[in-house]
Amino acid sequence: MSTYNIALLAGDGTGKEVTDEAVKVLKKTAEKYSFDLNFEPALIGGCAYDKYKNPLPEETLNIAKKSDAVLLGAVGDSKYDNLPAEVRPERALLGIRKELNLFANLRPAIVYPELTSVSPIKEEVVSGTDIMIIRELTGDVYFGEPKGIEIRNGEKFGYNNMCYYESEIRRIAHIAFNVAMKRRKKVCSVDKANVLDVSRLWREVVSDVAKEYPEIELNYMYVDNAAMQIIREPKQFDVLLTGNIFGDILSDEASMLAGSLGLLPSASLSESKIAMYEPIHGSAPDLKGRNIVNPIATILSGAMMLKYSFNMDNEYNAIVNAVRKTLKDGYRTQDIMQDGMKLVGTDKLGDIICSNI
């Protein structure tokens, strides 16, 4: 029986509640499909700062590096808002992405038929939507230097640097084209090439890489237009290829097609075997400890782990189908609650999904 070691980084806020449910579902899947999962917990974010004065302790990084895959909940809490930037919880997330070289972030935005009426957008617009956002995750204005806040001309001046090396654009473009080859063979590359130099390079490099994929239909869209088109006609998109910050913004927007931020999973891949799986949402500290947060995004992130790290397509489908069956049977957390449906807590929803595996 194969055994996989998973670094379990629950993080802050509702991170523990959602990862608990994902672990439950993964264990049930492992039992059913005869493989073994070992979870090794480690601290990240505010909770790590509280203990070590460091949101990303060396020990956590080592556990992550030794593992076969990392499952992460979320980081951040308003109680850390006044900490210096270098030790804020979010810094740990950026740090682990960079340290593990997780440059390719896959964020599927799928509108399941069971939930089309939950979306704030009209049913006929969202139904059938299946977009894969490929977000570059280790570059851009998130990591660009120089950056800072200083005094210039007698007043405060804040700045960051939006920048990409050609090689960084090239490798994420390859990921997008390869993913698209297994889907509907369409890539829309998002940029702001009418204004930004870095975007002009982005477009030039993407079009060059595209020559190696003659079967792919490639188009380009300015990010402002893309934000509008995602709402107007989401079904036009197959793979959306973006830089770090545009992908951050557009993936939150795309979650509203599905109906809730609590539904979208993600996979962050590197060039080596190591990968990390996390919901696209944050730690939602206001929901913490109330057993009301939606665990589906994290449960589906666990499913993505089985598919992308361990090549377990059947097991991935088993989890997705169990989630869909649960929704079809009318079980809902508060964020996706509707008339006539059955409102359940975080742990109960996880239990029902397990029973449907």
Residues 6+ apart with CB under 8 A from 239: 131, 132, 133, 134, 176, 179, 180, 183, 186, 187, 188
Q: How many residues bind ligand IPM (CB under 6 A)?
A: 6
50 counts as catalytic: no
Long-range contacts of 37-40 (CB under 8 A, 24+ apart): 37/3, 37/4, 37/6, 38/3, 38/4, 38/5, 38/6, 39/6, 39/8, 39/71, 40/5, 40/6, 40/7, 40/8, 40/67
Active site residue 142: yes
Q: Which does 295 bind (CB under 5 to 8 A by kind): Mg ion, ligand IPM, none?
A: none
- The partner in contact with residue 347, picked from ligand IPM, Mg ion, none with C-beta cut-offs of 5 to 8 angstroms by kind, is none
Q: Which of 248, 315, 335, 351 binds ligand IPM (CB under 6 A)?
A: 248
Mark whether 28 is an active-site residue: no
When CB distances are held under 5 to 8 angstroms depending on the partner's kind, the choice from Mg ion, ligand IPM, none that residue 93 binds is ligand IPM
Q: Which of 111, 280, 303, 312 binds ligand IPM (CB under 6 A)?
A: 280
Q: Which is nearer to Mg ion, 248 or 315 (CB)?
A: 248
As measured in angstroms, the least distance from the Cβ of 254 to ligand IPM is 12
Q: Per the residue annotation, which of 80, 112, 142, 331 is the catalytic one?
A: 142
Token digits for 100? Answer: 């593990």
Least distance between ligand IPM and beta carbon 320 (Å): 21
Instruction: Pick the binder of ligand IPM from 93, 176, 179, 209 (CB under 6 A).
Output: 93
Q: Is 222 considered catalytic here?
A: no
Residue 282 contact among Mg ion, ligand IPM, none, beta carbon within 5 to 8 Å by kind: ligand IPM
Q: Which of 65, 222, 252, 288 does the annotation list as catalytic?
A: 252
| Catalytic annotation, pick one of 248, 277, 331, 335 | 248
Cα–Cα dist 354/263, whole Å: 17
Give least dist CB 251 to ligand IPM, A.
6
**How far apart are CB 55 and ligand IPM at their closest, in Å?**
11
**In angstroms, what is the minimal distance from the CB of 278 to ligand IPM?**
7
Residue closer to ligand IPM by CB (options 89, 350) is 89
Q: How far is the CB of 252 from Mg ion (least distance, A)?
A: 5
Is 90 a binding residue for ligand IPM by CB under 6 A? The answer is: yes
Which of 282, 285, 295, 302 contacts ligand IPM by CB under 6 A? 282
Binding site for Mg ion (CB under 5 A): 248
313 is catalytic: no
Catalytic residue among 224, 286, 313, 329: 224
User: Annotated catalytic residue: which of 16, 24, 192, 307?
Assistant: 192
By CB under 6 A, what part of segment 168-197 binds ligand IPM? none
* Residues lying near ligand IPM in the complex (CB under 6 A): 76, 90, 93, 248, 280, 282
Please list the active-site residues: 142, 192, 224, 248, 252
